[in-house]
Amino acid sequence: MLAHFCKIEGDLVGFLKNYSVDLGREQALCEANFAAMRRLLGDAEQGKTLYFDVALPNRPLHYAVTFEVIERSAHTAIVAVSADQFLSYWLHDLDFEVGIYFDAAMAEVVKFNGQRRLKLFVGGEKHHSGDDEKRQVNQFLGEWLAYCLEYGIARQTPFGAPEKSYVTNC
Lowest mean pLDDT among 32-36, 44-48, 121-125, 150-154: 121-125
Q: Is residue 10 part of a domain?
A: no
Q: Is residue 7 part of a domain?
A: no
The alpha carbon of residue 35 and the mean position of all alpha carbons in its chain are separated, in whole angstroms, by: 13
Q: What is the DSSP string of 114-138?
A: TEESPPPPB-SSS--TTTTHHHHHH
Q: For residue 90, which amino acid is it?
A: W
Mean pLDDT of 119-137: 59
Q: How far is it, in rounded angstroms, from Cα 49 to Cα 34?
A: 18
Instruction: Using the predicted structure, report yes or no on whether residue 165 has a pLDDT greater than 50.
Output: no
Return the half-sphere exposure (C-beta side, CA atoms, 13 A cut-off) of residue 84: 10
Q: Is residue 11 part of a domain?
A: no
E-only strand ranges, the chain: 49-55, 62-72, 76-85, 94-101, 106-112, 115-116, 152-155, 168-169
Q: Is residue 17 part of a domain?
A: no
pLDDT above 70 coverage of the chain, percent: 66
Instruction: Using the predicted structure, report yes or no on whether residue 158 has a pLDDT greater than 90.
Output: no
Q: How far is it, in rounded angstroms, from Cα 41 to Cα 56?
A: 21
Q: Is residue 5 part of a domain?
A: no
Q: Is residue 16 part of a domain?
A: no
| Phi, psi for 135 (deg, rounded to 5) | -65, -45
Q: What is the pTM of this model?
A: 0.72
Q: Kindly report the length of the chain.
A: 170
Q: Are 45 and 59 in contact (CB under 8 A)?
A: no
Q: Is residue 1 part of a domain?
A: no
- pLDDT tens digits, one per residue of 46-92: 888 998 888 877 777 778 889 999 999 999 999 999 988 766 665 66
Domain that holds residue 31: 22-169
Q: What domain count does the chain have?
A: 1
Q: Is residue 9 part of a domain?
A: no
